[in-house]
């Protein structure tokens, strides 16, 4: 067995790899037999590429679960021991892209402790160097918070800083900061990837953490406007399609409008399909969307090419109406819902 204490200060040049990084690359299974952080402390968890040993472990095709849980627990203890150190922000920034993998593959209680380290309550006084303020977060305390502009995003913008801090100095303000360095754009790969992960997650320990609830609220609030816009256009599509089917007569301008709307919705599904791939088809509403929009397009195109078979046309009509109205009802099912699972479902399907 490796005598870990003899190698805890080992640094391999030119990359500044520590013994954990070396083992994560060469012999991942041996990590699980190492002592915990209290007995075995490496000097720095980041190498020159700003990567942790966890990055190298997750690069393997077959990941040893005990080793994965050991490294996550070790990094969590490392961050806890240095909770007042600005170096922690760099470590969490490095770990941010790995959060979905950590949630999906590690033990819930271990992942929960690491995720909790990604939330910082940073007290500061009035006139300070704004570079010292965490990049992500919002004011959570202090008299000046009544003058602050709150962002829907977990990001801490310069506008919030300028409006929160007064020129008088000496006033204590706390920033509750989500330190995850993510792209908070609603349709970014980071947000879609996180939404997919949380949608599949059934671990209450993780879903109830402050970081996850903050991000959930952000996804919910940010998605509502898009939801209402899509609901309006989808309602227009259903109403026009119903009128078109009810008249059972050719109307070229109306067919063109229906085709444009349907193709537009179908185009929206493409990024979701590219991001989710096979997981995209695990959501029943995604399947309903694809079938409905393709059937609407098929119906219009069929009537352009030939309109001789009444049975085929009526079957297409019936399928469009059933799927269309089923999806129409689903567009409004989330408005009064507080279910986090449905929030991720909504974000991924709308």
100-to-115, 146, 153, 159 alpha-carbon distances in Å: 11, 35, 19, 30
pLDDT at position 52, please? 92
* Helical axes 87-95 vs 65-81, angle rounded to 10°: 150
Give yes or no for a contact between 104 and 162, defined as CB atoms under 8 angstroms apart: no
Return the pLDDT at 336: 43
Residue 349 exposed, middle or buried by CB count within 10 Å (0-12, 13-18, 19+) = buried
Query: Among residues 111, 121, 36, which one has the least CA distance to residue 69?
Result: 111
Nearest to 88 by CA among 63, 121, 128: 121
Burial of residue 246 (number of CB atoms within 10 Å: 0-12, 13-18, 19+): exposed
Q: Within 13 Å, how many C-alpha atoms sit on residue 56's CB side? A: 23
Ordered per-residue pLDDT tens for the chain, 350 residues: 456 666 777 777 778 888 888 889 988 888 888 888 888 888 888 888 889 999 999 888 888 888 999 999 999 999 888 876 777 778 888 998 898 888 888 888 888 888 888 876 554 433 334 444 444 444 344 444 433 334 445 555 566 556 555 544 545 455 566 778 888 777 778 887 888 788 778 888 888 888 888 787 777 777 777 778 888 888 898 999 888 888 877 788 888 898 899 988 888 888 777 766 777 787 787 888 888 888 888 888 888 787 677 787 788 888 888 888 888 877 665 444 434 444 455 444 44
d(CA 9, CA 7): 6
Q: Which pLDDT score is estimated for 84?
A: 66
Q: What is the model's pLDDT at position 217? A: 76
pLDDT for the residue 194? 82
| Residue 122 β-bridge partners | 175
Instruction: Measure the N-to-C terminal CA separation of the chain; round to a whole number of Å.
Output: 53
> Do the beta carbons of residue 113 and residue 76 sit within 8 Å?
yes
Return the closest-CA partner of residue 294 out of 325, 273, 267.
267
Residue 261 CA from chain centroid, whole number: 28
Distances (CA, A) of 98 to 57, 82, 164, 328: 11, 21, 32, 36
Question: How large is the angle between the packed helices 210-247 and 108-116, nearest 10 degrees?
Answer: 100
Identify the pLDDT of residue 158: 60
């Amino acid at each position: 067995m490796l005598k870990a204490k003899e190698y805890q200060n080992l640094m391999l040049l030119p990359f500044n790899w520590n013994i954990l990084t070396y083992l994560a690359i060469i012999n991942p299974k041996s990590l699980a037999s190492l002592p915990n952080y209290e007995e075995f402390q490496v000097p720095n968890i980041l190498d020159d590429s700003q990567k942790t040993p966890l990055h190298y472990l997750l690069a393997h095709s077959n990941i040893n679960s005990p080793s994965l849980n050991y490294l996550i627990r070790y990094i969590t203890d490392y961050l806890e021991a240095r909770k007042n150190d600005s170096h922690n922000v760099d470590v969490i920034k490095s770990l941010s892209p790995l959060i979905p993998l950590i949630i999906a593959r590690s033990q819930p209680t271990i992942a929960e402790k690491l995720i909790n380290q990604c939330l910082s309550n940073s007290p500061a006084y009035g006139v300070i160097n704004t570079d010292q303020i965490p990049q992500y977060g919002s004011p959570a305390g202090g008299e000046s918070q009544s003058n602050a502009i709150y962002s829907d995003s977990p990001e801490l913008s310069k506008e919030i800083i300028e409006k929160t801090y007064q020129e008088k100095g000496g006033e204590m303000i706390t920033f509750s900061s989500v330190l995850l360095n993510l792209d908070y754009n609603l349709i970014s790969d980071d947000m879609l990837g996180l939404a997919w992960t949380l949608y599949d997650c059934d671990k209450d320990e993780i879903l109830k953490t402050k970081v996850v609830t903050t991000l959930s609220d952000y996804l919910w609030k940010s998605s509502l406007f898009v939801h209402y816009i899509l609901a309006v256009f989808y309602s227009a599509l259903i109403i026009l399609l119903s009128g078109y089917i009810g008249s059972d007569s050719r109307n070229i301008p109306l067919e063109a409008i229906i085709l444009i709307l349907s193709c537009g919705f179908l185009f929206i599904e493409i990024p979701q399909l590219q991001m989710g791939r096979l997981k995209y088809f695990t959501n029943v509403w995604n399947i309903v969307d694809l079938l409905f929009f393709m059937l609407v397009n098929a119906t219009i195109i069929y009537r352009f090419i030939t309109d001789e078979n009444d049975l085929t046309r009526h079957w297409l009509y019936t399928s469009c109406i059933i799927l269309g109205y089923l999806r129409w009802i689903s567009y409004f099912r989330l408005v009064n819902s507080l279910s986090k699972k449905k929030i991720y479902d909504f974000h991924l399907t709308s």
